[in-house]
Amino acid sequence: MTATFLILAAITIAGTVAAMAMRNLIHCVLALTLGFAGLAALYLQLGAQFVGLTQILVYVGAVAILAVFVIMMTQHPTQTTESIFSSFWFSGSLIAALVFAVLGWAIHSSRLPYGIAPPHAEAAVQPIGDALMHKYVLPLEIMGLLLTAALIGAVVLAIHEKRRSA
Instruction: Report, in angstroms and rounded to the nearest whole number, the Rg of the chain calculated over CA atoms.
Output: 20
pLDDT (tens digit, 0 to 9) for every residue of the chain, 166 residues total?
A: 789 999 999 999 999 999 888 877 788 888 989 999 999 999 999 888 888 888 898 888 888 777 777 777 776 655 555 666 667 778 888 998 999 999 999 988 888 776 676 777 666 778 878 888 899 999 889 988 998 888 788 778 777 766 776 6
Instruction: Find out whether 94 and 63 touch, Cβ atoms under 8 Å.
Output: no
pTM over the 0.75 mark? no
3-class state of residue 73 by DSSP:
helix
Distance CA 84, CA 140 (A): 39
Instruction: Find out whether 43 and 55 touch, Cβ atoms under 8 Å.
Output: yes
